[in-house]
Structures are given as C-alpha cells and as structure tokens.
Amino acid sequence: MYDLNTILSFGITFGILIMTIVYTFIRYIYSKEIIYISYCLMQIFSLCFIVIYSKLFDFSFFFQELALVFASLSALVFAIAFYEGKFFPVISNYKELLINTALLNIVILTAFYHYLLFEYLPYTIIYAILFVSVIFNLKQGFKPTIVYVIGWSVLCFVLFVLDFKEYYFAQGYMDIVLIAFAIEAILFTISISYKYNNLQKEQKNYESMLVQQSKLAKSGEMIGNITHQFRQPLNNLSYILMNIKKRYENQKLDEKYFNKKVSQANEQLQFLSKTIDDFKEFYTPSKQKEEFSVKEAIQNSLTILSADLKKRNIDLVFEFATNDEVKVYGIKNELSQVVLAILSNANDALRDIENPFIFLEVKANDAEVIISIKDNAGGIKNKNIDKIFDAYFSTKKEGSGIGLFLAKQIIEESFEGKINVHNTKDGAEFTIYIEKYL
C-alpha cells in the first residue's frame, strides 16, 4: 500500500488533470477550435493512464498502454493544430541548411532528454513538434508556442545540468511523472492565455478593418450623396453671381445689395465646408476616446445620408428631446457609423413604401442617453429578427451583412452600452442605450 503522501500526490495530479479537462472542454464549447478538444482528449486519456499507473485501482496493464496510445495520437493532433508558421523552412543556401540542421538536432536531443526525464510520450510529442515550430519560424516574432517551448526547454536544461533525476530518485520522492503532469498543465494554460489575448487583439483589428471596409463599400453611394449635397449650394452661388453681374451691368449695384449677396454666398460656402468636414470626419480612422456631443455625431450621419433620403422622398424627423449638449464618452465617428448603418437599412427597407418616414429621437435620463430610430417599412420577419445582428447575415441580395453586426460590436464594446430591435405596428425600431457623460 502507498503512504499518505504518495496518495495525496496522485490525488493532486488527478485534480490538475480534471481541471484542465474541464477548462479545455468549456473553451471548445465556446470556440469550436480543434486545439481545445484535442488537448482535452489527450488529458482525458492521460488521466486514464495515470490512474492505472498509480495502481491505486485494479486495472489491466493493457488499458494503460491503450490510454497511452490514444493520448499520444491526441497530442499529435493538438501539436499540429497549435503549430504556428511553416512546417518546413525555405532554405536558399548552404548556410541556412547547416543552421536548420543544427537546430533540428537540438530539437531531437532535447526532446529525447525530455522523454528520458519524464518518460511520458504524449508531452514529448507536443514539446518536439512545437519546438520545431519555433526554430523554423523565428522571424515571425513572439508566439504562444514560444511560451510553451521556452518553459519546457529551460526546465529540461536546468534539470540536466543539476542531474536532477538521479538525485530525485535517490531522495525517494514521489514519481517524477507526476511533476510532468503538473508542469504541462501550467505551461499549457499560460500559452493558451497568451494565444487567447492575441486572438482578442486580432479580432479587434479585424473589426476595425471591417468598419473601414464598410465605409469604403458605401463610398460610391457616398460620392453620389456628396454630389447631390453640393449641387444646390453651387446653383445658389451661380444665381448670386448672376444677380450681382446683372445689377452691375444695369448700374444698380449698391453697397447694401452687394453686402447682402456676399453674406448669402458665405452661407452657401459655409454649408459646403461643413459638408466636407462631416464626410472627412466620418471617413477618418478611429481616434482616442473622448467626450463628444451626441447631436453632432448624429448630424454627421444625417449629412451623409440626407441627399439620398430626399431623392427617395423619405420624410426624416429628428427630435432631440433633451439638452442639446448632452454628451457621451467614446469615439464620435463610431457612433456616427452606428446611426448611419441603421438609417441605411431603413432607407433600403422603405424603397417601395408609400409615404415613407423615419423617426429619430434622442432622450436622456440621469444615467444614460437613449437613441431611438424607427420606420414604417413593415418590420423585420420573426424568423430573421434574432439574426439581425449576426455577422454576414443580410436579407438584401447585395448586402454584406456587417453593418448591424459592427453596430452591435461598437455599442457593446466601445461604448459599453446595448442595442436592441423590436417590431412596432408600422415597422422596426432600433434602440441604443449609452451611458451619459456627466
């Protein structure tokens, strides 16, 4: 029979493996990534192996070997899935061939020592394959695999120098394979955490890119809107100049009339300048967060879309039922992007509607700002309403399905608010809730 310390050591190892299994399985449920389920399976078979190996229970040696085989196969799948970079380096000269050959020998030697030290093949398989990933892809920068490989390499090197295994057995300590299980779980958790953080950053960068692509995708439509916005002020300027010229030719141009026309011309020029600024601000990449006027952000969106709404005879009512200077904290052109996405959808939905209208209302209480946008386009089908914020979901033939997805991401992540949609008697109503800047 084992003494209490040995039983306790195996019990701790069982607990570590069970926690790793639960952790990776939960990760798999949410991510559906093969690295989690393969690692989970490897640890399940490793748990079976160590349970039989402990001889605390009466199992056949055959099942121990079977568990080892399946754990090794799962480890192989995990290592290949976790592998980052190219499997084979591009070698263009003899120098690179010698360097890569030397590095490969180092991998073989350290992996061999790893196996001699801990005598557990699945972990050695992972270590060897990920070591190859690191040395063949050093130019790609710091990767999660490096965390894992450096951890094992430093440990193996220190234990080799200290001739740890012989000393360890001489002292009569618990089986060294138990240490391998504990270290493996720790290094894996650190590596996965680092990988998860990288994925989060990549996702944010990807979403930022989608925001810009969404804007660019509408660039043709926006150019048409700019043209329409500019046409009337330019016509007005033309009439002003014609009136001045006519008065001058008839010798009736007095100072009062001249100043009046100059003032009218300046008004048109200011309108053109503001339109340019609104479009420029909308297309400028996101900046640092700051407090800004909600009304200004919405008006930027209206400036961009108003020409198209007028062309389609859509009546847009903008009611600001609160203090004009109410502010929120975030990035102004991101809120403009959200409002524009909702308005654009309403604009498309109202294409064949008689007497189309959009009602945009801004309210505020002591805690939050509430932006409501509703139309009379008939609403969203019940089968689609729960998918409306999903990425790439669109009911339009030429729709990208990213506008409302990005709108939800921006409101929830950038503004820490919420956005929802429901059908009213006449159509759909989108409601945005953002914390008020006090």
Distance CA 405, CA 419 (A): 11
Q: What is the DSSP letter of 286?
A: P
Q: How confident is the model at residue 333 (pLDDT cuts 50, 70, 90)?
A: confident
Q: Which residue has the higher pLDDT, 15 or 168?
A: 15
Residue 369, pLDDT score: 93
Reported confidence tier of residue 423, pLDDT bands at 50, 70, 90 = very high
**What single string gives the DSSP state of each residue in 60-79?**
-HHHHHHHHHHHHHHHHHHH
Q: What is the residue-averaged pLDDT of the chain? A: 79
> What is d(CA 179, CA 174) in angstroms, rounded to the nearest whole number?
9
Specify the range with the lowest mean pLDDT, choosing from 36-45, 127-136, 281-290, 427-436. Answer: 281-290
**Is residue 418's pLDDT more than 90?**
yes
**DSSP one-letter code for 55:** T
- DSSP state string for 319-367: EE-S-TT-EEEE-HHHHHHHHHHHHHHHHHHTTT-SS-EEEEEEEE-SS
- Its pTM stands at 0.49
Long-range contacts of 47-53 (CB under 8 A, 24+ apart): 47/14, 47/17, 47/18, 47/21, 50/10, 50/13, 50/14, 50/17, 50/177, 50/178, 50/181, 51/14, 53/177
Beta-carbon neighbour count of residue 394 at 10 Å?
A: 18
pLDDT of residue 435: 92
Partnered with residue 373 across adjacent β-strands are 360, 430
CB atoms inside a 10 Å sphere around CB 33: 16
CB 274 within 8 A of CB 302: no
Q: Which helix (H) or strand (E) holds 242?
A: helix 219-249
| Nearest alpha-carbon partner for 154 in 127, 123, 120, 194 | 127
Percentage of residues in the chain with pLDDT exceeding 90?
11
Between 280 and 353, name the one with better pLDDT: 353
DSSP label at residue 218: T
What mean pLDDT do residues 190-198 have? 67
What pLDDT does 325 receive?
Answer: 82
Q: What is the CA radius of gyration of the chain?
A: 33
pLDDT at 328: 92
> Biggest alpha carbon distance in the chain?
121
Estimate the share of the chain in helix, then strand, then coil, as percent rounded to the nearest 5.
Answer: 65, 10, 25
Statement: residue 374 has pLDDT above 90:
yes
Question: How high is the pLDDT of residue 351?
Answer: 83
pLDDT of 414 above 60? yes
The answer, yes or no, to whether residue 70 has pLDDT greater than 90, is yes
- CA–CA–CA angle 39, 41, 42 (5° rounding): 60
Per-residue pLDDT at 66: 92
**What whole-number distance in Å separates Cα of residue 220 and Cα of residue 146?**
46
Pairing of strands 357-364, 428-435: unpaired
Count of all residues that appear for the chain in the document: 438
